[in-house]
């Protein structure tokens, strides 16, 4: 029996002040329904960072997972790019 495909997101770490937890911001452009202009939108995800190795500004890939706390439903798969 196969398990369902899990959602993945790529974003930038905006906060790592918690223990084993980071906040990842994903920005995307969305077309305004009436005016047609593209507006920048940001979505935040609270993700589990088991080894506490992510820093602010890092580009990371996160994956959907079981609820780990009140707001935490994602976990870090890999760090794509370190902050400069």
Boundaries of every domain in the chain: 8-81
Q: How far is CA 20 from CA 55, 57, 75, in A?
A: 11, 16, 10
Average pLDDT of the chain, as a whole number: 95
Give the residue among 5, 2, 6, 3 at the shortest CA–CA distance from 74: 6
Average pLDDT over residues 10-27: 97
What is the distance between the alpha carbons of residues 49 and 19, in angstroms, rounded to a whole number? 8
Higher pLDDT, 84 or 7: 7
- The pLDDT tens digits for 43-77 are 999 999 999 999 999 999 999 999 999 999 999 99
From the options 2.40.50.140, 3.30.450.20, 3.30.910.20, 3.40.50.150, give the CATH code of 8-81.
2.40.50.140
pLDDT at site 65: 95
pLDDT at site 1: 76
Average pLDDT over residues 29-35: 97
């Amino acid at each position: 029996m196969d398990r369902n495909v899990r959602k993945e997101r790529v974003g930038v770490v905006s906060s790592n002040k918690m223990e084993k937890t980071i906040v990842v911001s994903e920005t995307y452009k969305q077309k305004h329904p009436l005016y047609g202009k593209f507006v920048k939108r940001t979505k935040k995800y609270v993700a589990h960072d088991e080894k506490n190795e992510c820093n602010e500004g890092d580009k990371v890939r996160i994956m959907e997972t079981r609820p780990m706390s009140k707001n935490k439903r994602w976990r870090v798969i890999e760090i794509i790019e370190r902050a400069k």
